[in-house]
Structure 1
Amino acid sequence: MSEYYIFELSENVTRTQVRYKNRYGIELAGDLYRAKNMDEGRKYPALVIGAPYGGVKEQGPGVYANVLAQRGFVVLTFDPSFKGESGGEPRHVSSPEIFSEDFSAGVDYLGSCAFVDREQIGAIGICGSGGFALSAAQMDSRIKAVATASMYDISAMRGKMTPEQLSQRIDQLSRQRWTDFEKGEPEYIPSFPKEPVLSIPEGLDPVSREFFSFYGLKRGHHPNARAGHTTTSDLAFLNYQLLNHIDSISPRPILFIMGENAHSRHYSEDAYAAAVEPKELYIVPDAIHIDLYDDVEKIPFDKIEDFFMTAFSSEKD
């Protein structure tokens, strides 16, 4: 499906398919974006960009990479483990540890490129990848700066439940393991259709309608991004909190970007409050959550470029 992208590649950008392994031995499928006029005899700043939770590299990450490559960055996008064209079995598993590791594996790969400055590598996480990018940076000092866009902290689900609800959910998921074992495969219920449809189904709640307007319609649909993960994947997120050590990222800077009207604002606000300086919360006027997936008129590329170049300049001083 590598030929299926939701955006048109700039005539000034080269995109190369790459493959590399994370520390678990899972082979990741990535795209490397570079300006066509890049001098490979020089070293350039680089970024690794993660997809929204359930998304793939041909969607939002590619939109960002296509623009940022024209601004002088070498940019790596990737399909998370168990998703898209990346390896990992069973398919559609979600793991807070492995999804965070996938960012560090991207840094491994970028650092192996002769034209990348190893001291100028940053990370961008869109939606759920925002939490994974921050989690990776907590334990990987090679990530010199982190930006998130429409961040979701998937592991925050535990804090939204009463003790009774949490106990019931853990029991339900625990018993699902027996069902999965007896079937020989884990339960996976996709959220979106195989092919894009013309309209949003009736009866969805406002947040589900918003996501469907991207993933289920032509705007953002991709056959490798039907969202949802294996049902028992939630167990790991109930037990593993992604951002418990966000304060340890300092003195490396964090930029939280969120839409003024995004339903997900509280995730960025909570993470910002827990983080230590240097940090910044940047609000995009009149933007909802999914606008920061692909709307190049609303994604603040000037701000993103300035943030990383300032962070990398400080690293050299």
Structure 2
Amino acid sequence: MEEIAKIIKDISGGNIKPIYFLMGEEPYYIDKLTEFIESNILSEDERAFNQQVLYGRDVSIEDVISAAKRYPMMADRQVIIVREAQELSRSIDELESYVKNIQPTTVLVIAYKYKSLDKRKSLTKLIEKEGLLFESKKLYENHVGTWISRVLQGKGYHIEPKATAMLVEFLGTDLSRINNELEKLQIILPKGTTFTPAHIEENIGFSKDFNVFEFRKAIGERNQLQAYRIADHFAQNKKEYPMILTTGMVFSFFSSLLQYHGLKDKSPGNVAKVLKVNPYFLKDYDLALKNFSMKKISAIVSTLRDIDVKSKGVGANQLHETDLLKEMLAKIFN
């Protein structure tokens, strides 16, 4: 992100704000910026007396303000970091009194994850005026692949499209989880390596043949034999592939297909943008679009709602997951 790069460049160049309020749904960038500030504003010697890390669950806003108002010891500034500050959401507006009379020798970092301040409130406007307000937004699924490639290229690695798709499919859009898995691979594999589906399967534990997007692909191709094989694998590995998640994935696939049928602009770029899917999977959607009419998809979506209810134990007489998966596939392929 250009905004992240600019913040880091400014701090490195000595343009340091008295308050950094880092908020938003995506914790990855909040954590990275917090770690950068923690390691780069003060020297190692200065940190011993002038850097303090607080946790939102253990302190009050009054505690934070009190710490921020102290003067540094034998240094030009002190750094106060409040991690998990979202725990202070009920009283966060009380920070306004400090921002109105900010301590210029303090750098106050508020890591406010999974939440955002109301931008209409005076606190938000004051922070924007006196310091830096950064909002870390969730990436759409179809943007995560680009993010993975960019991160790896910066570290001297590359990744195949299917390997990227596997990571996104299994880990979702949680950048912290994805980054943790990428770091594992970087420890094991030498620089210059191109990560493949085999690397993902061998080192992270995802099967390249029996997984949710291969299941979705088999359904879209109307490949009944492969779909039933994968369904049986899921039933034998319920912890890795819980029924509720499998049903949700298939439901999402057919809901997107229904939306795809209704699109006037079916160009790849527009489809990926509207459906919010990884472009790598578009060929699966294209084939499924030919194999399932809009009328059939509507009926499947209705069936999947019924299967979802049964998977939660309502009116199913505790059917085994194998039976539920078979019922789902039978109605899809009927």
Indicate the structure with greater helix content.
2
- Settle same-fold status: TM greater than 0.5: no
TM-score, length of structure 1 as denominator length: 0.26
TM-score, length of structure 2 as denominator length: 0.25
Query: Whose radius of gyration is greater, 1 or 2?
Result: 2
Indicate the structure with greater strand content.
1
Q: Which of the pair has the greater relative contact order for Cα pairs under 8 Å at 6+ separation?
A: 1
